[in-house]
Structure 1
C-alpha cells in the first residue's frame, strides 16, 4: 500500500493566535482602515477565535425615499437602526504562525460563508492589510 503524502492546504490548519499578535494585528488593521477607508464605515469589529481573525464593518444605511412601505412591520427609524447594527462581513484571516503571511477567506453573501481566496498577488498568504484592502474594496465602496 502506497503511503499518503502530506500536502499543505491553505484552507486547513493554523495555530492559535497569541494575545500579543492579536493586539498588533488589530492595531494594524484599524490603522490601515483609517488611512485608506475613512468615511466608508462607521465602526469595525475585529474578533479572534482560535486560529481565526474575523473582520466586520458597520455602515450608515442609505436612506431611500418612500422606504419602507406603509405596511412594513417596523417604522423607518427602526428599520434604519436595524441596518446600522447589521454588520457587513468582510473576511476571515487564518493564522499559520507568521504575522506577515495569513490565509484569507472572503465572505460570500451568495453562499453565506467564508470562501478560500487568494490575495491580489496570486498567493494564498499575505498581510492583514492586503486582506482588508481586498475585502473592503469590494464591500465598502
Structure 2
C-alpha cells in the first residue's frame, strides 16, 4: 500500500480579499494597464469575489464593412458594434493568499475555454499585482 503524500498546489486554497485592500489592488492594476497597454482597450474591469480578483478588458470591436444584418437578428451594423463593445475579453484571475506577495495567477485560455495556471515574471507561482500582470 502506498503512502499518501502532501503536495503543494498553488492553484487551490486562498483567503478572502479584505475590503480595505481592494481599492489599492484595483488602482495598481488600472495603473499598470494604462502605462503598458494604453490605446489597446476601451476600459478594464477589475472585479473581486471572495479570494479571487478577475480582470477583463473591453476592446473596440471590428465589424466587417460587408456586415449582413440577417445573420444577427436584423441588428444594424451600429447596433452590433455597440453590443460587441459590451462583451468582455477575460484576461486573468488572481488568487489571494493573505499577503501582498502571495498571489497566484491564471490566464483565461480561449482555446481551452478555462483558466490556465501561469508563473509570474519572477519565475515563481507567487507574486504581487504590481508585477506579472
Residue 105 of structure 2 corresponds to 104
3-state DSSP of counterpart to 1:28: helix
Alignment match, 2:65? 65
1:45-100 per-position Cα deviation (integer Å, ceiling 9, x unaligned): 1111111000001011124321x225322210111011100000000000011112
Distance apart, 1:2 and its partner CA: 6.7
Partner deviation per Cα, 1:91-117 (whole Å, 9 max, x = no partner) = 000001111231000101112221211
| Structure with higher helix content | 1
* TM-score, structure 2 normalization: 0.88
Return 5+ residue gaps in structure 2 as ranges. none
- Over the aligned positions, Cα root-mean-square deviation in angstroms equals 1.8
1:10-21 equivalent positions in 2, closer than 5 A: 10-21=10-21
TM-score normalised by structure 1 residue count: 0.83
Give the Cα–Cα distance (whole angstroms) in 1 for the partners of residues 24 and 126 of structure 2. Answer: 18
Task: Encode CA deviations 1:12-55: one digit per residue, 9 max, x unaligned.
Answer: 01011101121211111111111111111111111111110000
| 1:84 is aligned to 2:85 | yes
Q: How many residues align?
A: 131
Runs of 4+ residues over 6 Å off in structure 1: none
Aligned to 2:95: 94
